[in-house]
Structure 1
Amino acid sequence: MSITLNPFIASIPANPLRALFPFAARPGMLNLASGHPSRDAYDHEGLAEALTRAGADFPSWTYGPSAGDPLLLTVLQEHMVEVPAGHRLLVTSGAQQGIDLAIRTLAPPGSTILVPEPVYPAVLSACAAVGVRAVGYGAAASDTAMAGLAEALDAAPDARAVYALPTFGNPTGETLSQAQRLAMLALCAERMIAIIEDDPYRALWFRAPPPPSLMALAPQVPGAVVIHLGSLSKMISPGLRLGWAIAPDAIATPMQEARQASDLQPNSLAQRVALHYLRLGRLDAHVARVRGLYAARHDALVGRLAAAGFRVPPVDGGMFVFVGLPEGTVREGLFERAIAGGVMYAPGPAFALKPGNAAFADLMRLCFVGLSDADVPVAADRLIAALRG
C-alpha cells in the first residue's frame, strides 16, 4: 500500500496481553492471564435494575457534556471520590482513557514519561501513539527513599511526568508504603513534574485498607501535582468502560478538551447505568463480598503454588500476583505445555519495556479473580503439572 502512516501510530507496540485472547477462547481453558472478574463477582441483580432505570431516562439516549453526566459527577463525589479544592473531576472511558489524556496533555512528542518496570503494557501504547518515550524506573519494597526513581529522573531531564500504579499494582500486586509515596511526591515536586496516579484497585483490599493515595498525601508536599485516575471496571463492571480523572483545574480543562477532540463525551447510557447503580445503595455490600471472594481465591492459588516451590510475593489486595518459577525450572516450552494442559498465564516478559527483554523470564503474572472457587485449585494443579512436564 502506498499510503504513509503517521509514524507514531505505526510505532504502537503489539499488546502482548491482547494477543492471549485466542487461547482464552479454547474450550475448557482456565484463564489465569486476563484481568477479568469472574461471573459471580458481579452484582447482576443490581446492574439489571440500574439498566432498567437508565432506560427510562431521556439523557441515556442523547448527547451530554464532555466532562461527564452532571448527576454522575455529583454521585461519584458523594459515594467514591474526594475532589480537592482547585481540582476538577472528569468522567473517562475507563482509567485507560485517563492515562491517555494525561499523557497527551502533559507530554509533547519527543519528551519522556517515566513508568515503573515491570510495566502495565497499555501505558506503552498510550505513549507511543503520541510520540512520547517511556523510560523505566524501579520501585522495590526495600527502596524506601525511591532511589530508583531518583536515578531515573536524573537520567531523564526531559521527563514531563511520572506514571505510577502504587496500590496493588499491575503486574506485581505490590503496594508502595506511605514513606515511598511521600518520597515520590517530594522527588517529583522538586523537579516540578506531575505524577499520573493510576488507582483502579484501591477498593479491593483483603484485610486492611492500603495507605492513602498520592493525591490524598499531596498537600503534605509543597509543589506536588497529582492527576488521580480511578475506575468502575474493577468494582462494578468493566463493560461499562467508565472511570474518572481528578486533576488541577489548569490540567483538567485541557484534558477535557483533548477528550472532546477524540470522542466528544463519555457513553451516555453507561453513565446513567452507573448513576442508578450507585443510587441503589448496593455498592458497599457488593465490594465487601468481592473482597472476600478475591482474598479466598488468592490464598487458595498461592498456597498451592508455594507448596510446589513457586516464589510467591506477599499481596494484600487487587487482582494479580507476579509469581517466580521454582529454582532450577526449565522454562523452555512451559507456556505451550500450560496451554496444552488447559491453563494459561501471562508470561513475565510481556511486562518489560522492550520486547524480548529476558529480565522477567522467570516470572508470570497470575490473575486470581477470574475463576470460580472450584476452578482456582484446578488451575493451580494444571500449572504445576505443566511445570513438571
Structure 2
Amino acid sequence: MKIALNPFIAGIPANPLRALFPFAARPGMLNLASGHPSRDAYDHEGLAEALATAGADFPAWTYGPSAGDPLLLAALQEHVAEVPAGHRLLVTSGAQQGIDLAIRTLAPPGATVLVPEPVYPAVLSACAAVGVRAVGYRTDAADAAMAGLAEALAAAPDVRALYALPTFGNPTGETLDQAQRLAMLALCARRSIPIIEDDPYRALWFRAPPPSSLMALAPQVPGAVVIHLGSLSKIISPGLRLGWAIAPDAVAGPMQEARQASDLQPNSLAQRVALHYLRLGRLDAHVVRVRALYAARHDALAGRLAGAGFDVPKVEGGMFVFARMPDEAVRDGLFERAVANGVMFAPGPAFSLRPGDVAFAERMRLCFVGLSDAHVLEAADRLIAVVRG
C-alpha cells in the first residue's frame, strides 16, 4: 500500500553525521568525526551522586511543567543562564529542540531562514520539517562589517529569522569578534529579523573567554531581538538531553505552546539529575578541567596535522577544527580508506547547504575532544597515512 507522506517530512535531508554512527561502533575505530566528549571528560562521581539523589525525588517520576522544572529553571539562572528583563527561560531537550522550536515559532512554510555556510546539518532538517527555505550566508574573520551577511539579506526573500553559531562554531570552530557581532545585530535589526543564537560551546574556551553573546550585546543595538540557546550536553552530559532557550516574552510563550504540541515537557528524571548536579557545586571545577583537556588535545592534533601539510585554522575553544587537506592528498575513496585504516572524520561536503554538493570537498571536520591524549595523536597519524595514499 502506498502511503502519501507530508511533503515537508518527506523532504527532510538525510543527516550525514548521524549516518556515521555504525562506522564509529567498529572495534578499534578512532573517531574524529563525532562531537562526543571522551570518557574522561565526564564527572562520573558527581553524576552518580546526582542520579542517586534524583531517584529519591517524587517529581523525578511524574509529569511536570512544559517550561521546565521550576527548581531547575532557578538553578540554571544561578549557574549558567542570565535572563534579561522581559525574557523567559525554557528548558529544552537539548539545544537542538530549541532550534526547532524557534524556527517553528518564527517562520511559516515558504519563508526563509538564513544559516551560516558551512552549516551544522541538523539545522537544515529543522527547516525542512516545517517547509522553511534555508539560505546560506558567509562570514570571514576579515569581514568586520559582515558584508557577506548583508549581501545574503539583500538577496533573500521573506527572511523571518537568522540562525547563528557565533562562538566556536560547528563545523569551523570559528568565533565572531565583538565588532562582527554588533554588525550582525544591526543588520538584522534594520530588517526586524530575530536572531537564533546557538551557543552550546561558550564555556569551552582554552585560554581566554570569548566575546559577549549576541543576547548580552543586543541592548546596545535598538530593535535587535535574540533567542539564545544553551546546552548542558557539552558541559555536563549529552545523555541528559537538556538545554535551555532564553527568549523575549512574546516569543517564549508560543515556543512553549509549540513544545507542548510535540512532547509536553522535558524529561523529569533528567531535569532532577541536572538540578542535583548543579547543587553539588562541582560544575565550575569540572569545566576548568575539561577546558585543559580539550586545549591540550586540540594543540596535539592541530600540531601533528600541520606538520604533515594540513591547513588547520586556529581556534580558541569548542570541539572542532575544519582542516584543509594538503594539495597532494589522494581524495578518491578517502573516507572508505580511512575507515578501513581505523580512523573516522566528517567529510567537508556534509556541511554544505545542498545535499550532494561537493563544496568543502578539500576539508574535513575533526573533533579533538572525543579521544584520549595518546589516541588523538594515533588518530592523526592514521589520517595522515590515509591522505597520503
Bin for the TM-score computed over the shorter chain: over 0.9
Match of 1:122 in 2: 122
Match of 1:109 in 2: 109
Contact 2:328 2:388 in 1 (8 A): no
- Cα offset, 1:328, TM superposition: 2.6
Contact 2:114 2:163 in 1 (8 A): yes
1:246 is paired with a residue of what secondary structure? strand
Amino acid of the structure 2 residue aligned with 1:92: T
Residues in 2 aligned to 1:388 and 1:369: alpha-carbon distance in whole angstroms: 24
Amino acid of the structure 2 residue aligned with 1:360: F
Provide, for residues 242-301 of structure 1, a one-character-per-residue CA deviation record: whole Å limited to 9, x for no partner. Answer: 000000000000000000111000000000000000000000000000000000000000
Residues in 1 aligned to 2:251 and 2:19: alpha-carbon distance in whole angstroms: 34
Match of 1:41 in 2: 41
Provide, for residues 28-85 of structure 1, a one-character-per-residue CA deviation record: whole Å limited to 9, x for no partner. Answer: 0000000000000000000000000000000000000000000000011011111000
Residues in 2 aligned to 1:280 and 1:219: alpha-carbon distance in whole angstroms: 34
Query: In the alignment, is residue 300 of structure 1 matched against residue 300 of structure 2?
Result: yes
Residues in 2 aligned to 1:93 and 1:124: alpha-carbon distance in whole angstroms: 18
Query: In the alignment, is residue 249 of structure 1 matched against residue 249 of structure 2?
Result: yes
Contact 2:79 2:278 in 1 (8 A): yes
Match of 2:328 in 1: 328
- The range that moved more, 151-160 or 224-233, is 151-160
Contact 2:311 2:324 in 1 (8 A): yes
Residues in 2 aligned to 1:79 and 1:358: alpha-carbon distance in whole angstroms: 42
Contact 2:198 2:229 in 1 (8 A): yes
Alignment of 1:91-106 (within 5 A): 91-106=91-106
1:189 is paired with a residue of what secondary structure? helix
Residues in 2 aligned to 1:266 and 1:388: alpha-carbon distance in whole angstroms: 47
Match of 1:201 in 2: 201
- The range that moved more, 242-251 or 138-147, is 138-147
Residues in 2 aligned to 1:192 and 1:269: alpha-carbon distance in whole angstroms: 39
Amino acid of the structure 1 residue aligned with 2:319: M
Aligned-pair identity in percent equals: 86
Residues in 2 aligned to 1:237 and 1:359: alpha-carbon distance in whole angstroms: 33
Match of 1:189 in 2: 189
Alignment of 1:12-91 (within 5 A): 12-91=12-91
Residues in 1 aligned to 2:332 and 2:363: alpha-carbon distance in whole angstroms: 13
Amino acid of the structure 1 residue aligned with 2:255: M
- Cα offset, 1:327, TM superposition: 1.6
Match of 1:319 in 2: 319
Residues in 1 aligned to 2:305 and 2:189: alpha-carbon distance in whole angstroms: 42
- Cα offset, 1:319, TM superposition: 0.2
1:145 is paired with a residue of what secondary structure? coil
1:359 is paired with a residue of what secondary structure? coil
TM score, norm. by length of structure 1: 0.99
Alignment of 1:205-220 (within 5 A): 205-220=205-220
Amino acid of the structure 1 residue aligned with 2:360: F
- Cα offset, 1:388, TM superposition: 1.4
- Cα offset, 1:330, TM superposition: 2.5
Residues in 2 aligned to 1:78 and 1:354: alpha-carbon distance in whole angstroms: 41
Query: In the alignment, is residue 350 of structure 1 matched against residue 350 of structure 2?
Result: yes
Query: In the alignment, is residue 337 of structure 1 matched against residue 328 of structure 2?
Result: no
- Cα offset, 1:355, TM superposition: 1.4
Taking only aligned residues, the RMSD between alpha carbons, in angstroms, comes to 0.5
Match of 2:172 in 1: 172
Residues in 2 aligned to 1:350 and 1:132: alpha-carbon distance in whole angstroms: 20
Contact 2:37 2:370 in 1 (8 A): yes
Contact 2:168 2:317 in 1 (8 A): yes
Residues in 2 aligned to 1:339 and 1:142: alpha-carbon distance in whole angstroms: 36
Residues in 2 aligned to 1:3 and 1:27: alpha-carbon distance in whole angstroms: 39
- The range that moved more, 153-162 or 181-190, is 153-162
Provide, for residues 101-133 of structure 1, a one-character-per-residue CA deviation record: whole Å limited to 9, x for no partner. Answer: 000000000000000000000000000000000
- The range that moved more, 328-337 or 155-164, is 328-337
- Cα offset, 1:356, TM superposition: 1.9
Amino acid of the structure 2 residue aligned with 1:40: D
- Cα offset, 1:336, TM superposition: 1.3
- The range that moved more, 228-237 or 335-344, is 335-344
- Cα offset, 1:352, TM superposition: 0.1
- Cα offset, 1:166, TM superposition: 0.2
Residues in 2 aligned to 1:328 and 1:153: alpha-carbon distance in whole angstroms: 37
2:262 is paired with a residue of what secondary structure? helix
Unpaired runs of at least 5, structure 1 = none
Match of 1:288 in 2: 288
Provide, for residues 176-204 of structure 1, a one-character-per-residue CA deviation record: whole Å limited to 9, x for no partner. Answer: 01000000000000000000000000000
Match of 1:11 in 2: 11
1:262 is paired with a residue of what secondary structure? coil
Residues in 1 aligned to 2:27 and 2:80: alpha-carbon distance in whole angstroms: 38
Give the paired residue count: 389
Residues in 2 aligned to 1:130 and 1:206: alpha-carbon distance in whole angstroms: 37
Amino acid of the structure 1 residue aligned with 2:213: S
Amino acid of the structure 1 residue aligned with 2:91: V
- Cα offset, 1:157, TM superposition: 2.9
Residues in 2 aligned to 1:387 and 1:33: alpha-carbon distance in whole angstroms: 16
1:360 is paired with a residue of what secondary structure? coil
Match of 1:386 in 2: 386
Provide, for residues 131-171 of structure 1, a one-character-per-residue CA deviation record: whole Å limited to 9, x for no partner. Answer: 00000000111111111111111111301000000000000
